[in-house]
Amino acid sequence: MQVGSLFLVLFAVTLFVTYLAVRRAWTSTVYAGALSAILSMTFVILYAVTAQDTSTAQAVFAGILVGLGFSAATVAIASFFRTNERPAQARLGATHEETQPDDQR
């Protein structure tokens, strides 16, 4: 495996862990998003410098654009699915009365 490919794998792993951290609320969304953005930008910049024939300015521009874009999309998607997740006690096909506690029926 070439060094550039390693940076792309680390970029993908960063996005995957970010998705899990936000979706499962392992930490605050802002903290996870900020750390993801920093790591994503770093890995894309390192990939562009090592695997592509680009200048440093092009690598930094691409790293910022791609790193922030993918991190923001990952956090937005994970947040959307976390807020729209069905509660644990809800069942498919259950009526409203079946999901209410006994003392509220």
pLDDT of 94 over the 70 cut? no
Q: Is 1 part of a structural domain of the chain? A: no
pLDDT for 44 equals 92
The verdict on residue 104 lying in a domain is: no
pLDDT score of 105 more than 60: no
Per cent of the chain over pLDDT 70 is 82
Assigned domain for 69 exists: yes
Residue 88 phi, psi dihedral angles, 5° rounding? -60, -35
Residue 63: inside a domain, yes or no?
yes
Task: Decide if pLDDT at 14 tops 70.
Answer: yes
Kindly report whether the global pTM for this prediction surpasses the value 0.85: no
- Amino acid symbol at 99: T
Does the residue 94 lie in any domain? no
Domain of 28 in residue numbering reads as 8-85
- Tell me how many domains the chain contains: 1
Exposed, middle or buried, 37 (CB in 10 Å: 0-12/13-18/19+)?
A: buried
Q: Is residue 101 part of a domain?
A: no
pLDDT at position 93 over 60: yes
Whole-angstrom Cα distance, residue 15 to residue 21?
Answer: 10
72 falls in which pLDDT band (50, 70, 90)?
Answer: very high
Q: Is residue 27 in some structural domain? A: yes
98 touches 87 (CB < 8 A): no
Residue 3 within a domain: no
Q: Let me know: does 30 contact 48? Beta carbons within 8 Å.
A: no
* pLDDT tens digits along 31-59: 999 999 999 999 999 999 887 778 889 98
